[in-house]
Amino acid sequence: MLKKSRQLPKVEPLGADEVRALLAPIESEKHVLLAVSGGADSLALLIVTARWAKEKHGARPRVAVASVDHGLRTEAAEEAAMVGRVAANLGLSHVILKWDGEKPTQGIQEAARNARYRLLSDHAKALGARVILTGHHADDQAETVLLRLAAGSGLSGLAGMASETPLQGDHILFRPFLAISGVRLRATVTAAGLSPIEDPSNVNQRFARPRLRSAADVLSREGLDTARLMRFAERMRRADEALEAVVEDAERALRIPSTSGERFTPGVLSRPPEIGIRLIGAAIRRVSNGAALELNRLEALHAALSDALRAGKSLQRSLGGAIIALDRQGGITVSREPPRRSRLSLGKGTSGA
């Protein structure tokens, strides 16, 4: 007798009740913007948000749609136009935002991402929308955790993507699908009778994410599947939040009021290293207007300050647009780095004396 083949469980599309729960955080917004490329995840976002908005019978928020044409593929313009047709059929407005100008030859994906968020933020501002929604899902989250692990990220990085991330101009990037698998979003698109766009860069082995996807079966057999990586990210997030609470308490105890930069009592370097690293990093970001800091450079700075204190020496270093100064007693001052002076050439008839 032949064995019956094992049937895979049916993948259900997102249901109305589930969508209401996922989109509940934006109910009080006046206007929101959907970032839709036409891939399965963002197309699912467009479909379910349009239905959700329709069932509210004109109650806010108003929903608008934008696609970004990065100008990197000839097909991109038609793909964005296709999104526009789907949006129109669903009763939503749509615009195509273009990334013009010269493109870098290296780091193109990061540059494209930065340009995309800048264009979306600018358009959201013009609309009066505070929140921008994307279709990032659980599989994206798992990939992000693995990539950050490979890059040597700390706790904050290993927590993965947050459901809400601040963008320029007081905008918020909202990811409602982070707990939803990509196959369920694809099933949602299929159930609506639509076909998603397949971006060739998603399988291009030049890029890290496609390489991870091609190794997904091997990683899963070793226990590194999406579900476990999601649990890992959540545990890292809890630990990170707990540590931030400890850092806030330490800052209140150690920070000295100052009109010139940030000052701390000698106790900063006597705390566990992670506390000191975070305290100093936060101070640098405050005085330098949120400069991006590499964790390994912050760790090296903390180690240098600790070594100097043990040797009874003062020390001054610069990092991220800030000057960090240690006195012999262990007090630390963090101040904004002064602008570098440009060399001025002497004009005609000007004496150098």
Pairing of strands 164-166, 332-336: unpaired
* Cα separation, 157 vs 296, whole angstroms: 13
Distance, CA of 111 to CA of 229 (rounded, Å): 27
pLDDT at 35: 98
> Of 48, 132, 46, 59, which is closest to residue 93 (Cα–Cα)?
46
Spatial neighbors of 28 by CB under 8 A, at least 6 apart, are: 60, 61
- Mean pLDDT along residues 304-313: 96
Distance CA 126, CA 129 (A): 8
Instruction: Look at residue 169 in the predicted model and tell me its pLDDT.
Output: 82
Q: Quick one: pLDDT band at residue 1, thresholds 50, 70, 90?
A: very low
Could you give phi then psi for residue 91, rounded to 5 degrees? 85, 25
Residues 264 and 325 reside in one and the same domain:
yes
The reported pLDDT for the residue numbered 6 is: 52
Per-residue confidence band for 203, with pLDDT thresholds at 50, 70 and 90: confident
pLDDT tens digit sequence for 79-133: 999 999 999 999 999 999 999 988 888 888 889 999 999 999 999 999 999 999 9
In this prediction, residue 316 carries a pLDDT of 98
Tell me, yes or no, whether 44 and 152 share the same domain: yes
Judge contact between 62 and 34, C-beta under 8 A: no
124 contacts 132 by C-beta, under 8 angstroms: yes
* In-domain check, residue 344: no
Q: Average pLDDT, stretch 183-206?
A: 89
Mean pLDDT of the chain: 91
The per-residue pLDDT for 73 is: 87
Range of the domain at 305: 257-336
More reliable by pLDDT, 84 or 3: 84
- Comparing 349 with 93, the larger pLDDT belongs to 93
Residues 200 and 68 in one domain: yes
- Is residue 27 predicted with pLDDT exceeding 90? yes
| Number of Cβ within a 10 Å radius of residue 248 | 13
Question: Would you mind telling me the total number of residues written for the chain in this entry?
Answer: 353
For 30-68, write each residue's pLDDT tens digit: 999 999 999 999 999 999 999 999 998 778 899 999 999
- Asked if the structure places residue 305 within a domain, the reply is yes
Confidence of residue 341 (pLDDT cuts 50, 70, 90): low
226-238 residue pLDDT tens: 999 999 999 999 9
pLDDT at 340: 74
Question: Does residue 203 lie in a domain region?
Answer: yes
Query: Do 328 and 185 reside in the same domain of the chain?
Result: no
- Tell me whether residue 342 is in a domain: no
pLDDT score of 221 more than 60: yes
| Arithmetic mean of pLDDT, 191-206 | 85
Residue 2 has pLDDT above 60, yes or no: no
In a domain, 218, yes or no: yes
Residues 33 and 90 in one domain: yes
Query: Does the structure show a pLDDT above 60 at 351?
Result: no
Total structural domains within the chain: 2
Examine residue 170 and state whether it is found in any structural domain, yes or no: yes
Q: What is the pLDDT of residue 343?
A: 52
Does 263 share its domain with 195?
no
CATH number (domain holding residue 148): 3.40.50.620
| The pLDDT of residue 201 | 72
Mean pLDDT of 155-168: 95
Same domain as 142, residue 64: yes
pLDDT one-digit tens code per residue, 4-13: 445 556 899 9
